[in-house]
């Protein structure tokens, strides 16, 4: 998934810097602003017990699958369909015009062209079927999250956007014309790990958890994830929210303290102070609303500080827009907390 602030392309840098600073000490790794879960996934693969968390429900669903699922999915309650044929069955569904069709297609909403008519009906039909199976007890929790995660990844591939859901394109782009295909996502199996996923505000969760390595990757600016990814949130919930405006954004979309210039430093310091973790790492780039000096000053109060850095290709939400700056510097701030 093309996600704002995704660490997909700098995973090796993050992993090697963390291993260098901690000297590979520690067993419990927490990714408290997990987003797509790429960092949490890497540390699960490496054998750490992982705690993952994010405020958004689509992220919770993705991480419930990638982080908590730790064995093959069996679909024992769907024996009538045939375990192997579950995806064939779901891919044939095209009979339900639901919330996505009625609000995010030209045909259903008369304005918003986020999906083709066919793909929107398919999203609605598959999402409805998953819910029916779950309510009837045909699928259990881990299968439920697995199937919704597969649907989120598949829907995102055929969305008619420049990349985020704050706007749709006037013309249906090539990838959005493709038929949505629900595919089984990989399952990360590491039997040596114990993993847990939360959906909470970071600064609340921090009071209830402990571990060895805390990785922080908060938003860098005022762009709200809840409105940038509002349709993924609705597909994940499978609900019928109040929406507004040209883009049909959920009225319950909200700003995190980490998006607010006046709150971010206070929230950040509180998180560091309360953290019951020996090592703390913060990913932040040189365009963030907290300055390098501000971060360093806060972190130095709580222990031994070091900084790693790397040039990184700039994220472009709109590929057609000219941007003058091609790269940013990605910092990984590292702290070994005083006892």
Residues at the site binding ligand SAM, with contacts judged by CB under 6 A: 3, 5-7, 33, 35-36, 38-39, 53-56, 59, 201-202, 217-219, 225, 256-258
Residue placing its CB nearer to ligand SAM in the complex, 128 or 201: 201
CA distance 77 to 192: 27
Of 143 and 233, the one with the shorter C-beta distance to ligand SAM is 233
| Cβ at position 56, least distance to ligand SAM in Å | 4
4 in helix, strand or coil?
coil
Q: Which is nearer to ligand SAM, 39 or 298 (CB)?
A: 39
Which of 17, 113 has the CB closer to ligand SAM? 17
CB 87 within 8 A of CB 183: yes
Q: How far is the CB of 254 from ligand SAM (least distance, A)?
A: 9
How far apart are alpha carbons 144 and 124 in whole angstroms? 15
Query: Is 42 or 122 the residue whose CB approaches ligand SAM more closely?
Result: 42
By Cβ distance, which residue is nearest to ligand SAM? 5
- Tell me how far, at minimum, the Cβ of 315 lies from ligand SAM, in Å: 10
Of 144, 157, 152, 182, the residue nearest 68 (C-alpha): 144
Q: Which residues pair with 206 in a beta bridge?
A: none
Across the beta sheet with 303-313, the strand order is 196-198, 49-53, 28-31, 211-216, 277-285, 327-337, 303-313
**Closest distance to ligand SAM from the beta carbon of 53 (Å):** 6
Nearer to ligand SAM, 211 or 218 (CB): 218
Q: Closest separation between CB of residue 316 and ligand SAM, Å?
A: 15
d(C-alpha 320, C-alpha 41), whole Å: 32
What pairs with residue 150 in β-bridges?
Answer: none
DSSP state of 69: -
Least distance CB 189 / ligand SAM (angstroms): 21
């Amino acid at each position: 998934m093309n996600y704002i602030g995704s660490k997909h392309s700098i995973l090796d840098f993050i992993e090697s810097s963390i291993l260098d600073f901690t000297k590979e000490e520690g067993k419990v790794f927490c990714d408290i602003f997990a987003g797509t879960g790429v960092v949490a996934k890497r540390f699960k693969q490496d054998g750490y017990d992982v705690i993952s968390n994010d405020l958004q429900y689509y992220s919770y669903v993705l991480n419930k699958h990638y982080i908590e699922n730790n064995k093959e999915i069996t679909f024992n309650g769907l024996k009538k369909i045939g375990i192997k044929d579950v995806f064939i069955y779901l891919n044939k569904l095209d009979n339900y015009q639901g919330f996505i069709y009625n609000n995010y297609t030209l045909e259903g909403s008369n304005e918003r062209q986020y999906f083709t008519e066919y793909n929107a009906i398919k999203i609605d039909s598959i999402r409805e079927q998953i819910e029916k199976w779950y309510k009837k007890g045909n699928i259990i929790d881990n299968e439920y999250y697995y199937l919704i995660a597969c649907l989120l990844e598949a829907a995102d591939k055929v969305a008619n956007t420049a990349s985020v859901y704050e706007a749709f394109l006037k013309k249906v782009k090539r990838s959005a014309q493709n038929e949505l295909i629900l595919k089984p996502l990989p399952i990360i199996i590491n039997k040596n790990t114990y993993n847990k996923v939360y959906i909470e505000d970071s600064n609340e969760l921090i009071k209830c958890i402990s571990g060895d390595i805390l990785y922080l990757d908060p938003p860098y600016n005022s762009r709200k994830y809840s409105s940038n990814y509002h349709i993924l949130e609705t597909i994940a919930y499978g609900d019928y929210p109040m929406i507004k405006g040209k883009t049909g954004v959920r009225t319950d979309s909200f700003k995190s303290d980490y998006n607010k210039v006046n709150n971010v430093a206070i929230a950040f310091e509180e998180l560091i102070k309360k953290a019951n973790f020996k090592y703390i790492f913060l990913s932040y780039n040189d365009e963030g609303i907290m300055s390098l000096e501000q971060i360093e000053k806060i972190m130095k109060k709580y222990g031994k500080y070091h900084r790693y850095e790397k040039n990184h290709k700039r994220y472009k939400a709109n590929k057609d827009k000219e941007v003058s700056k091609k790269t940013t510097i990605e910092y990984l701030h590292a702290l070994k907390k005083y006892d």
